[in-house]
Structure 1
Amino acid sequence: MSYQVLARKWRPSTFHQLVGQDHVLKALVNALDSNRLHHAYLFTGTRGVGKTSIARLFAKSLNCEQGVSASPCGECSACREIAEGRFVDLIEVDAASRTKVEDTRELMENVQYAPTQGRYKVYLIDEVHMLSTHSFNALLKTLEEPPPHIKFLLATTDPQKLPVTILSRCLQFNLKNMIPERIVEHLRQVLEAESVRFEEPALWLLARAANGSMRDAMSLTDQAIAYGSGALIEADVRAMLGTVDQRQVLGLLERLAEHDAAGVIGGVAALAEFGVDFDGVLAELLGLLHRVALAQMLPDSVDNSLGDRETVLDLARRMRAEDVQLYYQIALGGRKELPLVPVPREGLEMTLLRMLAFRPVNAGEVALPQGQATGHPERQADGTAAAMQPEPEAVDVTTAMSAPAPVAPSAPAQAPAPTQAPTQAPAPVAAAPEPQPEPPEPAPAGEIPPSAPSAAEPVAAPAFSEAYAAEPPPAEDPPPWGEPVAPATPASPPAAEPPPKKPEPLGSTQAVATPGLVKTAAPGSLAELDGPGWIAVLEAIGLTGMTYNIAANAALEGVSGNRLEFLLSSQQMHLFNDTHRQRMEQALSTYFDTPVQVQISEGQGRDETPAQYRERRRRERHAEAVAALENDPNVRAVIANFDARLEPESIKPVDPDNNEV
């Protein structure tokens, strides 16, 4: 006897053997058992999901000699002939090859005759959407009111092409695509019954390659058995399908998690040696990033289909959630752009390097060259406070005169070492004076003002009009209201006039600063931490992304030893998980240099949350800025003379300190 392929050998012979279409089976079984039968059924779905199989089982249930039921005997002549495809009252029509109206009319002429052998005459029309418009019209009347001994079973992969008049005359059943888990389960049962040796990862490769079709999965299994000499080995199946080795993609993602550019490029070179499809590499990387994102939110949902569950969970712990989302978006864009790249390997390399280049940096983290550590600018590796003052270094007088004057620090700092001029006695360079309400005293004799060039080495500066025409100076924020600017010391020689100041446009909506901004001091220990202090601490501990948003909406309820108790509203509580809690504990422990535990419960706190504080301060600054512009004489003059109007929503107040808490 000749070999019979698995797809035909294992075609279901009863409704109970069908896989993955429980919603359709329930309706058909109940209709058959209660004898509530419609005259026309339409089965839709992609290839290989069981449309024709269900139609044949339905015909067998209708014509079984034991009676109409959902469990045909399978032994009578009608059941055997239907299974063998030679039952005279089951008329199977391939609509793709019989699209003419003459073919449809010929079929309809025989409808009036009673069945020859069975209880019902069943018309099974496959790919019914291929019929012509005239064929559909010829079918309409008979399909709506057929004789009682006629049943129509229609199957199609494209129901959108069917006329509405046909759809309205049928009971429609949409068959689902098979999920990989269901395909693997069925393949395992078939291979065990066939005594074929297999490896579990090979079944998952076949199930994913089938793309939802059980028939495709069975056909690929036949091919893989022949390729592997009677066995299903993962390496053979991967080579047959041309898929990328999952371990190599895992290695790429691990190098990305470690921000190792050299390792990433080396991994691409290793893939190129096997002649892989680089689009397939990006597809595998997208699937792996999806599993990592699931592991970060729902660790229990990660399957072990490829034997890499622990590796995926480890990557989920090491990578930030915002990095995973960014990498996924970049990989998706890189896959769209890959057909435009002259060399596909370069497209993959640029996509991976783009992930490293655009990785978000934590608040307070400084981007340093490779090999140097990054961290909080105010904390050393051991968590202690680090000195922020730069080391004293020699300053060249000419360079100092051409560079803008530095801003004086809030605390007195050591003056830089004096520098000798080549042609005259040493003279110390005075530090820039801190702005005070009173004019500063004249510089002592022998000191060079920071804003004036040296008399011995005058600096030739271009005229203001020429410099401004070539390149406009960078915009600078004006000082806060109520803080006068100290006048500059007259330059030497006295006759030289300073360059004219660039005029500011009247009615500017982005140059208004607000007075009265008060900072809340960050507490130095957990015992001193309170609600307002939590607002200051949040901006200093370096949280980012979703964790920062959750912390900004949390109100500090109390401090109990080393445990911080927060309240979070119900709108934000569903976003909180253990990953966010661990990040908050790590950042707070580093900041306070002591282990910190975080407990977050649902509720409304007594104090303002950092998010509420910032929103209130934004509204206050905006109101103050609007009032300042409305009372400005120049703005009022423009409004009066030119019939102008002030748009409050266009006003953006200048925040003197973007990190103000």
Structure 2
Amino acid sequence: MSPTQALARKWRPKDFSQLTGQEHIVKALSNALQQNRLHHAYLLTGTRGVGKTTIARILAKSLNCETGITAKPCGICSICMQIDSGSFIDLVELDAASNTQVDNMRELLENAIYAPTSGRFKIYLIDEVHMLSKSAFNAMLKTLEEPPMHVKFVLATTDPQKIPVTVLSRCLQFNLKHIPQQQIADHLKYVLTQENITYAFPALQLIARAAQGSMRDALSLLDQAIAYSGENITEDNIQSMLGITSQDYLVNLLKALTQGDGAGMLSIADEIEAQCLSFDLVLQDLATLLHRIALAQTIPDKLNRDAHEYPAIALLAKAFSAEDIQLFYQIALHGRSDLSLAPDEYAGFTMTLMRMLAFNSDELAKNEYEKPSQPKGDLNKPENAIIKKSTSAVEQKVAPPTPSLHNTAFQSLNWTLLISQLNLSGMSKMLAQHSEAKFLPTEKIEIYVPEQHKHLLEKKYQDKIQTALNDYFSKPITLNFYIGTLTGITPLETHNLEAKEKQAQSIAHIEQDPIVQQLIENFDAKLVTSSIKPIKK
């Protein structure tokens, strides 16, 4: 019985049409090959398993196929078959990680002057090229400047920052991106269908997420999943294999959080520990769930409504405010980074949960949410739903009528600017940033807080603002807080608007740059606007 070939090797793409997730590279290289606009050196950058070596081998076939230079190599001629089997003598592959010295590079370059044995071009594929020594790069530089007509270099690296600029400037560079999870899952589905193995698609989505954008890693995990699950790949098996937290644990954690149920949250933490799951991965999965809840609140069309956990996500999106989700997301991220500093992982994890509970105030838990007393079960069932109470039960102060205006200097103060000069931090600063102030005669200030942030109105936070104002003006200030509708925008909203305006200006400036426009036009480049950050002055 012959050994089974690894899926990553068996399903390696043989031409550009089989590549997944690198359409921008395929388009650029295909156009260049069709127009016979060939470069002597190509640099492929990207993380592991995204297709650098695969693209290099397809390019070698395109340049040497017996049908001629083409973007669609035949795959059946002797040269194409030799390249696929790794026996083509004019394709020289060098692993720079294990051949870093200048002598290896000199030997390779000395042979470059000789014509190819059977192909049209001699192709030098140097993997992890950033590992070469400085002297080895210098030895390569002369050949890159004046290469023989029959030589093509294809350099691949996961760390282009370590390549000398003198080498970068002589290469046509292509950046391979992470492959989207949905495309990975769809490809795994195709592979398993061809292999006649049954599967549950949610299990493939878990594998795709664990692969983190790497198709090779996804296929390796799929090999492991087949060995673990046999001929039927289920979601439970993949969760067990990968040590992934069940969504039920995470959903029930957040349900308990809406109730202010600290004991319930710790009970779930104990269950997670009993399952020997990694708390680091649990926090990672919790952050992912919070991200999906935030999407459900702001851009619901981005979520797959057919996913089995969608009803629970939609329910939690209504149970929390957008600000709460943003805060809990940050707490989860910080909790994960602090795990190594905690006395043990259990303490670090439960402390993170308690931090979420502390920011989810008792008033919010008691007055805004309620859950019927039912046994734990499916969140989709009405009897287990989280129901938002009417806020009419909250007693509110009624703001007094505004007196006639005088004392112009005091009344013309800017609340946003004043906050930036006060010695505030933590929740007291958050309360001030989410409020609107009216400056009245005889040094009186009325602060209005919107309904959705009334849980910030704890006396200790009000007292800190009172003290900060007294210190700033060097005399007692009369300060009153009210819950009500705001007429303007809060300091936080002002800050966010200014940040968005600066971001938009920065993006516009980069888009109008002549060099950027030339790159987009000539090389089908794409501007990653999320990477543009305004310069802080």
Give yes or no for TM over 0.5: yes
Matched, 1:651 2:473: yes
In structure 1, the residue corresponding to 2:9 is in which secondary structure?
helix
Aligned residue runs from structure 1 range 274-313, under 5 A:
274-304=275-305, 307-313=308-314
Partner of 1:158: 159
Deviations 1:44-93 (CA, angstroms, capped at 9, x unpaired): 11110000000000010101111101011111111111111111111111
Any residues of structure 2 matched to 1:325-336 within 5 Å, and which?
Answer: 325-336=326-337
Aligned to 1:420: none
Change (3 A) 1:623 1:244: closer
- 1:318-329 → structure 2 map (5 Å cutoff): 318-329=319-330
**Structure 2 partner of 1:577:** none
The aligned runs of 1:251-270 (5 Å cut-off) are 251-270=252-271
3-state DSSP class of the match of 2:74? coil
Q: Deviations over 1:224-247 (max 9, x none)?
A: 101111221111111111111121
Structure having the higher Rg = 1
Which residue identity does 1:659 align to in structure 2? F
The answer for the alignment partner of 1:196 in structure 2 is 197
Q: Deviations over 1:348-389 (max 9, x none)?
A: 2222122222225779x999xxx9xx9999x658x9x99x9x
Which range is displaced more, 353-362 or 41-50?
A: 353-362
Structure 1 residues 205 and 376 mapped into 2: Cα distance closer, same or farther (>3 Å)? closer
Q: Which residue is equivalent to 1:128? A: 129
CA 1:206–1:358 in 2, change beyond 3 Å: closer, same or farther? same
Contact 2:295 2:302 in 1 (8 A): yes
Q: Quick one: structure 1 residues 366 and 192, their matched pair in 2 at CA, closer, same or farther if it must change by over 3 Å?
A: closer
Structure number having the greater helix percentage: 2
Which residue number in structure 2 is paired with residue 315 of structure 1? 316
CA contact (8 A) 1:323 1:360 kept: no
In the alignment, the residues of structure 2 paired with residue 163 and residue 622 of structure 1 have an alpha-carbon distance, to the nearest angstrom, of 64
2:13 aligned with 1:12: yes
Equivalent residue for 1:141? 142
| Paired AA for residue 47 in structure 1 | R
Query: Which residues of 2 match residues 62-211 of structure 1 at below 5 A?
Result: 62-211=63-212
TM alignment of 1:22-41, pairs within 5 A: 22-41=23-42
The answer as to whether partners of 1:204 and 1:305 remain within 8 angstroms in 2 is: no
1:346 alignment counterpart: 347
Determine the structure 1 residue equivalent to 2:501.
none
Residues 66 and 345 (structure 1 numbering): CA distance in 2 closer, same or farther, change over 3 Å? same
Give the Cα–Cα distance (whole angstroms) in 2 for the partners of residues 81 and 267 of structure 1. 57
Looking at structure 2, the residues matched to 320 and 262 of structure 1 have their Cα atoms a distance apart, in angstroms, of: 23
Alpha-carbon separation, structure 2, partners of 1:34 and 1:151: 17
- Cα displacement (A) at 1:303: 2.6
The Cα of 1:650 is off from its aligned counterpart by: 4.9
User: For 1:305 and 1:340, how far apart are their aligned partners in 2?
Assistant: 40
Q: Does structure 1 conserve the Cα–Cα contact (< 8 Å) formed by 2:43 and 2:172?
A: yes
SS at match of 1:116: coil
Q: What residue is the counterpart of 1:271 in the other structure? A: 272
- The answer (yes or no) to whether the contact 2:247–2:309 under 8 Å persists in 1 is no
SS at match of 2:478: coil
Aligned residue for 2:481, secondary structure, equals coil
282-291 or 299-308: which moved more?
299-308
Listed one character per residue, the Cα deviations across residues 435-467 of structure 1 (whole Å, up to 9, x for unaligned) are xxxxxxxxxxxxxxxxxxxxxxxxxxxxxxxxx
AA aligned to 2:473 is I
In the alignment, structure 1 segments of 5+ residues that lack a partner are 389-409, 411-512, 519-544, 553-610, 625-648
Which piece of structure 1 moves more, 234-243 or 38-47? 234-243
| Aligned mates of 1:55, 1:366 — CA distance in 2 | 62
Q: What is the TM-score when the length of structure 1 is the normalising length? A: 0.58
Work out the percentage of aligned pairs sharing the same amino acid. Answer: 50
Question: For residue 634 of structure 1, what is the aligned residue in structure 2?
Answer: none
Partners of 2:444 and 2:477 within 8 A in 1: no
Shifted more, 184-193 versus 252-261: the winner is 252-261
Going from structure 1 to structure 2, the CA distance change for 1:265 and 1:22 (only over 3 Å counts) comes to same
* TM-aligned CA distance change 1:305 to 1:8, over 3 Å: farther
Cα pair 1:514 1:655 within 8 Å, conserved? no
One-letter code aligned to 2:347: E
**Structure 1 residue 104: Cα displacement:** 0.9
Find the aligned partners of 2:81 and 2:367 in 1 and give their Cα distance.
77
In 2, Cα distance between equivalents of 1:30 and 1:254: 53
User: Taking structure 1 as reference, are residues 116 and 271 closer, same or farther at Cα in structure 2, changes over 3 Å only?
Assistant: same
2:45 equivalent to 1:44: yes
Q: Provide the aligned length of Structure 1 versus Structure 2.
A: 413
Quote the offset at 1:166 in angstroms.
0.6
For each residue in 1:277-317, what CA deviation from the matched residue of structure 2 results, as whole angstroms up to 9, or x when unmatched?
12222211111111111111122222358520111001111
One-letter identity of the residue aligned with 1:651: F
User: Quick one: structure 1 residues 275 and 304, their matched pair in 2 at CA, closer, same or farther if it must change by over 3 Å?
Assistant: farther
Change (3 A) 1:108 1:267: same
Q: Deviation at 1:25?
A: 0.8
Amino acid at match of 1:7: A
Separation (CA, whole Å) in 2 of partners of 1:358 and 1:83:
58
- Deviation, 1:341, is 2.0
Structure 2 SS opposite 1:66: coil
Distance 1:67 1:652, change over 3 A: farther
